[in-house]
Amino acid sequence: MSMTFAETLYKGYAQTIALDGPVLADERSRFQHIRIFDSPLNGRVLVLDGIVQLTDRDESSYSEMLSHVPMIEHGAVKRAMIVGGGDGAIAEEVLKHKDVERVDLVDIDDRVIALSKIHFEHVSGAAFADPRLTVRAEDAFPYLKAAETAGRYDLIVADRPDPVGPAEVLFADEFYSVVSRALAPGGFALFQTGVPHYQAGELTQTVSQLSSAFKNVGVFLTVTPTYIGGHMGLTWASNDSRLGTLDHDAIAARFEAKDFPTDYYSPAVHRAAFALPPWIARLVPGKNR
């Protein structure tokens, strides 16, 4: 019997992925329905609550852009936090930067972490064994609210799923406030803000909400094929810095000094990511375009 997974993210439009071999994991955790399987064209796939979260073949377009773009522009990220990200993909990219001293990964679901360690070792690489990484299986919201995180992080990446189920709280005004409070001077917070072609409202609303919690906000783009619908919006926020200001040569000099390979990120791709097609720019409220 051949099996096919049909994504349930949208009404009236879907991607379907044939399975190649048996289902590797199919488990209802306390928070969500976790499925992992192999596929002929997309490699290994992680699905949460019916929505594709990660595939082998295109995760670099997401994890590299959410980490290297802000880290290269910041120039001296020492402490980073990942909200969610239990698969380890972003942690791996952040830890490629040798001057990073500490990464706190806070994912609410210990089962996503445990299953990813088994089935996505090739995606997380050396991350989970890196002594600079601390993994906490807990709710990121109270974690960030605690007094001791104030001003702690140079980088916070909200690797959040779509705004349904357990992640809904990660799209609330109060969440943005606690993220803002946890940033160190010069720090950047990054948020995936959906696929504008099918989730236009998510980009507009998130930028608008972030503008209340942060001084500076802006949008850049990546293209992750299985986040179906073309471009994905990535939104940055900061209280005292701006992203997208470095020119190509400065980016290239900093990246060259880093000395690690990438699949999606390059200095040219970094600059290019800030060029929004007019139809996307029109979704970004006012001064943040």
Residues in touch with a second copy (CB under 8 A): 6, 10-18, 20, 39-42, 57-58, 60-61, 195, 197-198, 223-225, 228-231, 261-266, 268-269, 271-279
Does 159 participate in catalysis according to the annotation?
yes
**Helix/strand/coil for 194:** coil
CA-nearest of 64, 35, 49, 42 to 125 is: 64
Nearest to a second copy of 41, 253 (CB atom): 41
Phi/psi of residue 255, nearest 5 degrees? -70, -40
**Side-chain-side CA neighbours of residue 96 (13 Å):** 22
Nearest to a second copy of 28, 287 (CB atom): 287
> Which of 159, 162, 173, 259 is labelled catalytic?
159
The per-residue b/e assignment along 83-121, b for 16 or more CB within 10 angstroms, e otherwise, is: bbbbbbbbbbbbbbbeebeebbbbbbbbbbbbbbbebbe
Hey, what are 146's tokens? 């605690």
Burial label for 289, CB within 10 Å (0-12, 13-18, 19+), is middle
Distances in whole angstroms, Cα of residue 190 to Cα of each of 20, 207, 233: 34, 11, 11
- Residue pair 204/284 in contact (Cβ under 8 Å)? The answer is yes
Least Å distance between CB 29 and a second copy?
27
Nearest to a second copy of 57, 181 (CB atom): 57
Residues noted as catalytic: 159
